[in-house]
Amino acid sequence: MNTVDEARESHTKPNAWRPARRSSISFDPEEGLTRQSMKDECNINLIMAKYIKAGAIEHVNRYGPQYFDCSSIDLQQALGIIEDAEDMFAALPAALRREFNNDPGEFLDFVQDPENTERAVQLGLLNPVPVPEAPPEPQPTPAEAG
């Protein structure tokens, strides 16, 4: 390189004596690329308000329990079922997923064990089962009493 090229380069490249020029970009929020239609679903304050109000019941109401025979499905269908289950687990509140170490398998083991029913109700995974009232004691008829 000759001195003319070196001189031209020294004027275009930032160095210790010639720092880089600062520039900035501003974006109009009205023309942003972010989808605003999902802003309420992503607002942590609204998410936590729903969780405090309903716990995970909203999730249970949306998906409900699913029991089915998987013996006659192929690999692609099985992978679809697994993907759907992972999506449903990911839709649970973070605190609830943390309860199961963010492991859908651990969650599945928990909900399949009947001994965990009371804890599942506490976590909001199940609606409380109403306790049936005891039938009234049979009253003796007047003929039996007399």
Q: Are 60 and 125 in contact (CB under 8 A)?
A: yes
59 found inside a domain: yes
Residue 128 lies in a domain: no
- Among the residues of the chain, which ranges form H helices? 3-12, 39-42, 44-54, 57-63, 75-90, 94-99, 104-112, 117-123, 142-145
Q: Are 116 and 110 in contact (CB under 8 A)?
A: yes
Q: Is residue 32 part of a domain?
A: no
Q: Is 137 helix (H, G, I), strand (E, B) or coil?
A: coil
Spell 13-22 as b/e; 16+ CB within 10 A means b.
Answer: eeeeeeeeee
Each residue's pLDDT, cut to its tens digit, for the chain (146 residues) gives 556 566 555 555 666 676 677 777 776 766 666 777 777 777 878 877 777 776 665 666 676 666 667 677 788 888 888 888 888 888 888 888 888 999 988 988 898 898 988 888 888 888 877 777 777 777 777 666 55
Residue 48, in any domain of the structure: yes
Structural domain contains residue 142: no
Whole-number pLDDT of residue 72: 77
- Residues of the domain holding 44: 39-123
Looking at the domain assignment, is residue 11 inside a domain?
no
Residues in the chain: 146
Residue 40 phi/psi, 5-degree rounding, is: -70, -35
> In Å, what is the CA distance from 9 to each residue of 4, 20, 23, 133?
9, 14, 21, 90
131 within some domain: no
| Domains of the chain: total | 1
pLDDT at 5: 60
pTM of the prediction?
0.41
Q: Alpha carbon of 72 to those of 68, 75, 77: distances in Å? A: 11, 10, 10
- Asked, for residue 119, whether it belongs to a domain, the answer is yes
Place of tokens 């000759």: 2
